[in-house]
Amino acid sequence: MTLKFISWNVNGLRACVGKDFEQTFKALDADFFCLQETKMQAGQLDLAFPGYDSYWNYADKKGYSGTAIYTRHKPLAVTRGMGIDEHDHEGRIVTLEMDNFFLVTVYTPNSQDGLRRLDYRMHWEEDFRRYLLALDARKPVVVCGDLNVAHHEIDLKNPKSNRQNAGFTDQEREKMTTLLQAGFTDTFRHLHPDAEGIYSWWSYRFQARQKNAGWRIDYFLVSDRLAPHIHTAAIHTEIFGSDHCPVELVLTW
């Protein structure tokens, strides 16, 4: 069995649809296509694809956050959020329970300018890790999305000048280390431990994408026991339509 997963922070799905999203979706031909930052409410966009069901989580606040999963495979169960009221009003998580694994797509809160949301982010990280570990105790987990952290210096173009900026604070990087040490594998780094200059997000400012001054903040993580099944892990830097590009995972059994 081979399964292909795609994850993409579309930075507003309605805007992305105007930038060839539908063609990209069809070309990538995934079993599971996960979205973050849809910035939508229910009923604002009718976007269906033959052969796929879709599951959405909308933020209470209009035009903000939001996640979704399109799937060719019918899940056993669908969960929105992590069951903690403090975290579950921003539409940040969709979980599908499949026969042999859980699929979680997540849009991790940004610590924001001046790190004004860093304390909340730290609290989120603790609760999200506990949520994933509770799933992992039942069956293996595939977790994907915009995790809003560049884990190591190799994961962004300008590590020295960005140290302690949102997404590259010591605290956020340490939480990522803690999550991986709890039993998860960063699939891209697993296959490409020394790959440099491959990023998934570029600021819209300063011609960052043309200069490839980017960050790798979009991930596929899997439970360690799925690591032997990682076939490919790719970052589609050639695909435009958002300030992020899609990332890909193929698992084989």
Helix spans in the chain (H): 13-17, 21-28, 118-136, 159-162, 170-181, 187-191
Respond yes or no: is residue 107 known to be catalytic.
Answer: yes
Which residues neighbour 158 within 8 Å (Cβ) at sequence distance 6 or greater?
Answer: 213
Nearest C-alpha neighbor of 82 from the set 55, 58, 106: 106
Quick check: helix, strand or coil at residue 225? Answer: helix
Which residues neighbour 241 within 8 Å (Cβ) at sequence distance 6 or greater?
Answer: 10, 16, 19, 20, 21, 24
Q: Catalytic one among 31, 58, 70, 107? A: 107
C-alpha count within 13 angstroms, C-beta hemisphere, residue 186: 22
Q: How far apart are CA 117 and CA 179, in angstroms?
A: 20
Find the angle CA(23)-CA(5)-CA(98) to the nearest 5 degrees: 125
β-pairing, 102-107 with 141-146? parallel
Q: Catalytic one among 146, 155, 218, 243? A: 146
Respond yes or no: is residue 29 known to be catalytic.
Answer: no
Beta partners for residue 105, in sequence order:
94, 144
**42 with 57: CB under 8 angstroms?**
no
The b-or-e profile of 98-132 (16+ CB within 10 A means b, else e) is beebbbbbbbbbbbeeeeeebeebeebbeebeebb
Residues designated as active site: 107, 146
